[in-house]
Structure 1
Amino acid sequence: MLFPPTHILVFGAGKSATVLIDYLKRETRRRLWELTVADADLETVIQKLGTEIHTHAIQLDITDSEKRRKLIAAADVVISLMPPALHYHVALDCLSLGKHLLTASYVDDKIKALQQEIAEKGLLFLCEMGLDPGIDHMSAMQLIHSIKAKGGKIRSFLSHCGGLVAPESDTNPWHYKISWNPRNVVLAGKAGAIFLKNGEEKSLSYEHLFRESGKVSIPDLGTLAYYANRDSLSYIPKYDLQDCSTFIRTTLRYPDFCKGWAAIVDLKLTDEIETYDTDNMRMCDFIQLHIQRHQLPVTADRLSSDSQIHQMLVSLGLNAELPIKKGICTAADILQWRMESSWILEPHDKDMIVMLHEIEYELNGKHKSVKSSLVVKGEDHLRTAMAKTVGLPLGIAAVLLAEKSLHERGLHIPIISSIYTPVLSLLEKEGIVFHEVED
C-alpha cells in the first residue's frame, strides 16, 4: 500500500525565508517529500524554489480562508512566516485540520488561549523558533541547565542579540543596513522595556530607551551598544531563574546607531498617528511641517545641535529637496521609505548576527561567570545571516517533526532539552556555533 509523501507547507517567502527554503528543498529532496511555499508574490516564490519537481509555488492572499485551508489540509507540518497578526488564522486552521505549526514569532494571547485544545489534539505548536526569539532561548537554556546540573546558582543573566551590518560592508554613518522587515526596525522599542537589575524591577520608556543604552565587548568585534527588549520579566519563570537579581534581554547595535535613534525618537519621526499628504511635498517641506505640528525645538536646517547626529539625519535625506509622492503618510511611513532607500544591503554586502549570553553564578561557594558568543555573517544580500539564523531553526524543527523524531506535543517555545538539544546539534552542522569563555 502506497502512502502519500510527507508534505511541508511554508507561508511566506520574504527576506527571512530564503535560507529556510534552501534548507527544506535540500532535505525534502533527500527524503522524497513534498514542499509547498505560498506567498502573495508568486514570482518571488518561483525564484526561491527553482524548478525542482517535488516543490510547489503557490500564489496566495493569506486572507483567502478557503484556499488557505486547502493548502493546510494537504500538509503534515506548517511553517508560518507571515506577519504575527496573521498567525492566529493559520493556527485555527491547523487546529481544526490536525496539523503541526511552527512560527518564529512571540506567543501572543490568542495563540496562548488555544493551549489546552492544542494538547488535547496531540499537536505541536512551536513558537519563538527563529533567532531572537529562538536560538537565544535554546542556547541560553542549554547553558542554564548545564550550570544547574553542576549545582550552580545563577545570580545574573544578560542575553544580547542583534542583526548588524558586517564591518567590511559598513559604509554609512548609522552603521546599519536592512536585512529584515524594515517596519520592525522603525517601530523597535516603542513599547519601552521592563527588566530586573540588582534586585529591582526597572522600566524605561521609549523616550529614554536608546539614551540609556549599555555597552558590551564582543570578541574580535569590539564594543557594541545594547538597549533592553520589551518585557524581560516574563522570561524569568520560563527560564526558571527566579533567584536571579539581574535578568535582562537586549538588542545589539553599533553605539552610534543608539545615539542617532534617540534623536529620531525625540523628533517624533516614528509617529504613526499624524498624517501628511505627500504627493506634492518634498522631504524638506515635510520636515518643516512636522516640526511645526509637534512644536519641536529644532529647525529644518539644523535637526540637532550635535554635529554628528545632524549629519546622520542628513544622510537619510530628511531635509533634502527630494519629492516624496507617497500619498497620505505618517512620519513613520516616510522614515521607513528613507531608511529603505539609504540603508540598502547591496548584492555584495554582508550582514552579521551577533549574540552574547553573560551569566554569573555561584558554585561551591565561589563566584563564577561564563560568556557564550555567536557571530554569523551572511553570504550576500539574499542569503543573509538574518535569513540563516531565523530560517534554519524552523527548517530543522520541521524536518525533525515530520520524520517523527521530535515527540513533544502542545504549545511550546524551545526552552526544553528535548527540543533544543537536537536542533542546536544540527545548527552546528550548518555553521551556527557558540564559543564559551569561563572565569
Structure 2
Amino acid sequence: MSFPPPHILVFGAGKSSTVLIDYLKRETRRRQWKLTVADADIETVLQKLGTEMHTHAVQLDITDTEKRRSLIAAADVVISLMPPALHYHVALDCLDLGKHLLTASYVDDQIKALQQQIADKELLFLCEMGLDPGIDHMSAMQLIHAIKAKGGKIHSFLSHCGGLVAPESDNNPWHYKISWNPRNVVLAGKAGAVFLKNGEEQALSYEQLFRASGNVTIPDLGELAYYANRDSLSYIPKYDLQDCSTFIRTTLRHSDFCKGWTTIVDLKLTDEIVTYDTSTLRMSDFLQQHLQQHRLSVTPEQLSSDAHIQAMLLSLGLNSEQPIHKGICTAADILQWRMESSWILEPQDKDMIVMLHEIEYELNGQYKTVKSSLVVKGEDHLRTAMAKTVGLPLGIAAILIAEKALPEKGLHIPIIPSIYAPVLSLLAKEGILFHEVED
C-alpha cells in the first residue's frame, strides 16, 4: 500500500520566512514531498516559491476559517509564522484535524491550556523553535547537560542574544537596522524584566530597563551592551537550574542604542494610548503636541543634554518638517514609521546575529567558566541572519517530524536532548556553529 508524500504547510511569508522557504524548497524537492505557503500577499509567496513544481502558493486571510482549515486538513506538519495572537486559531485547527504544529513564538497561556489535549492526540506542538527563543534554548541546554553529566554544579547562567547590523553595514548613529518585525522593536522591553542575581530576585521597570544595561565582550567583535529580557525566572525550572544564584536572559545592542532608547522611553515616544490626527501634521508639530500632551518640560530643540543622543534622535527626523499624513496615530505608530525609513536594510546591507552563553560552575572543588558564542551574518537584505536563524530551526524540525525522526509527543519547547541534539547537528551543517572557550 502506497502513502502520499508528506506535505508541509507554512502560514506567513514575511521578513523571517525567506531562508525557511528556501530550505524547505530544497529539502522537499530532494525528498519529492509537497510544500504549501500561504499569505495574504500572494505576490510575495510567488516570488519566494519561484517555479518549483512541488510547491503551491495560496492567498489567504488567516481569519478565513474555512479556507484555513482546508489547508491544514491537507497537510501533515504546519508551521505558523503568524503574529503570536493568531497562533491559537491555527493550534485549535491542528488539534482538531490531528496535525503537528511548529512556531517560533513563546508558549502563551492559551496554547498551554491545550497541553493535555495535544498529548492525548499524540501530536507534537513544538514552540519557541526560532532564534531567541529557540537556538538559545538548544545551545544552552546542550551546555548545561554536558556540565551536569561530568558532575559540575552551575552557579551562574547568563544568556545574551541580539539581532544587530553587521559592522560593514553600520552607518547610522544608532548602530542598528531593522531585520525583523519593526513593531517588536518599538515595543521591546515594555513589560520590564525579572531575573535572579546573586541569589536575589530583581525586577526592572520599562523606565529602568535600558539604564541598567551591562556590557559583554564578544570574540572578534568587541564590546556590546545588554539589557534584561522579560521574565528570566520562568526559565529557571525549565533549564533545571534551581540551585543557580544568578540567572539572566538578555538582549544585545550597541551601548549607544541603549542610551538613546532610554531617552525615547523618557520622552514617552513608545506610547500606544494617546492619539494624534496626523493628516496636517509635520514631524515637528507632532513632537511639540506630544511633549505638551505628556507635560514634558523640554523643548523640541533640547531633546537631550547629551549632544550625541540628541543627534541620534534628530537622525530619526523627530523635529523635522517632514509631513506625516498617516491619519490617526499614536506616538508608537509614528516612531515605527520613522524607524522603518531611517533604519532600513538596504539591498547590499548585512545584518548580524550574536549570541553568547556565560556559565560559571564548580567541578571537583574548582571554579570554571565556559563561554559559548555564535556570530551569523546575513547575505543581503532578504537572506538575513535573522531569517536564517529564525527559519532554519523551524524548517529542520518540520523535516524531522515528517520523517518521524522526532519521537516526542505533546507540547514542547526545544530543551530536551531528543529534540535539540538532531536539530543542532543539522544547524551546524548549515553554518550555524558555536565557539566555546573554557577557563
Could you tell me the TM-score, scaled by structure 1's length? 1.00
CA–CA distance in 2 between the matches of 1:349 and 1:248?
31
Structure 1 residue 304: Cα displacement: 1.0
Which residue of the partner structure matches residue 49 of structure 2? 49
CA–CA distance in 1 between the matches of 2:130 and 2:124?
16
* Secondary structure of the corresponding residue to residue 142 of structure 2: helix
Which residue of the partner structure matches residue 181 of structure 1? 181
Which residue of the partner structure matches residue 279 of structure 2? 279
Which residue of the partner structure matches residue 88 of structure 1? 88
* Secondary structure of the corresponding residue to residue 369 of structure 2: strand
Structure 1 residue 15: Cα displacement: 0.3
CA–CA distance in 1 between the matches of 2:60 and 2:109?
26
Which residue of the partner structure matches residue 304 of structure 1? 304
Which residue of the partner structure matches residue 250 of structure 2? 250
* Secondary structure of the corresponding residue to residue 309 of structure 1: helix
Structure 1 residue 297: Cα displacement: 2.2
* Secondary structure of the corresponding residue to residue 407 of structure 2: coil
CA–CA distance in 1 between the matches of 2:52 and 2:365?
60
Output the amino acid matched with 1:131.
L
CA–CA distance in 1 between the matches of 2:251 and 2:267?
22
CA–CA distance in 1 between the matches of 2:193 and 2:419?
28
1:381 aligns with 2:392: no
Which residue of the partner structure matches residue 76 of structure 2? 76
CA–CA distance in 2 between the matches of 1:2 and 1:405?
20
Which residue of the partner structure matches residue 221 of structure 1? 221
Which residue of the partner structure matches residue 261 of structure 1? 261
Structure 1 residue 268: Cα displacement: 0.2
CA–CA distance in 2 between the matches of 1:424 and 1:3?
30
Output the amino acid matched with 2:329.
C
Output the amino acid matched with 1:229.
N
Structure 1 residue 202: Cα displacement: 0.3
Output the amino acid matched with 1:396.
I
CA–CA distance in 2 between the matches of 1:2 and 1:50?
29
CA–CA distance in 2 between the matches of 1:370 and 1:2?
51
Which residue of the partner structure matches residue 111 of structure 1? 111
Which residue of the partner structure matches residue 365 of structure 1? 365
Which residue of the partner structure matches residue 203 of structure 1? 203
Deviations 1:106-136 (A, max 9, x none): 0000000000000000000000000000000
1:62 aligns with 2:55: no
Which residue of the partner structure matches residue 163 of structure 1? 163
Deviations 1:79-127 (A, max 9, x none): 0000000000000000000000000000000000000000000000000
Deviations 1:14-68 (A, max 9, x none): 0000000000000000000000000000000000000111000000000000000
* Secondary structure of the corresponding residue to residue 314 of structure 1: helix
Structure 1 residue 306: Cα displacement: 1.0
Output the amino acid matched with 1:436.
E
CA–CA distance in 1 between the matches of 2:427 and 2:433?
7
Structure 1 stretches of 5 or more lacking a match?
none
Output the amino acid matched with 1:348.
Q
Output the amino acid matched with 1:314.
L
CA–CA distance in 1 between the matches of 2:376 and 2:103?
21
* Secondary structure of the corresponding residue to residue 291 of structure 2: helix
Deviations 1:140-168 (A, max 9, x none): 00000000000000000000000000000
CA–CA distance in 2 between the matches of 1:297 and 1:43?
48
1:432 aligns with 2:428: no
Output the amino acid matched with 1:30.
R
CA–CA distance in 2 between the matches of 1:31 and 1:158?
40
Structure 1 residue 239: Cα displacement: 0.1
* Secondary structure of the corresponding residue to residue 2 of structure 1: coil
Question: What are the within-5 Å matches in structure 2 for residues 396-407 of structure 1?
Answer: 396-407=396-407
Structure 1 residue 289: Cα displacement: 0.3
Could you tell me the TM-score, scaled by structure 2's length? 1.00
Deviations 1:149-195 (A, max 9, x none): 00000000000000000000000000000000000000000000000
Which residue of the partner structure matches residue 15 of structure 1? 15
Structure 2 stretches of 5 or more lacking a match?
none
* Secondary structure of the corresponding residue to residue 279 of structure 1: helix
* Secondary structure of the corresponding residue to residue 383 of structure 1: coil
CA–CA distance in 1 between the matches of 2:176 and 2:388?
18
* Secondary structure of the corresponding residue to residue 345 of structure 1: coil
Structure 1 residue 4: Cα displacement: 1.6
CA–CA distance in 1 between the matches of 2:296 and 2:168?
37
Structure 1 residue 305: Cα displacement: 1.2
Structure 1 residue 3: Cα displacement: 2.1
Which residue of the partner structure matches residue 129 of structure 1? 129
CA–CA distance in 2 between the matches of 1:294 and 1:225?
29
Output the amino acid matched with 2:107.
V
Structure 1 residue 353: Cα displacement: 0.1
* Secondary structure of the corresponding residue to residue 145 of structure 1: helix
Output the amino acid matched with 2:250.
T
CA–CA distance in 1 between the matches of 2:17 and 2:59?
15
Deviations 1:319-374 (A, max 9, x none): 00000000000000000000000000000000000000000000001100100000
* Secondary structure of the corresponding residue to residue 251 of structure 2: strand
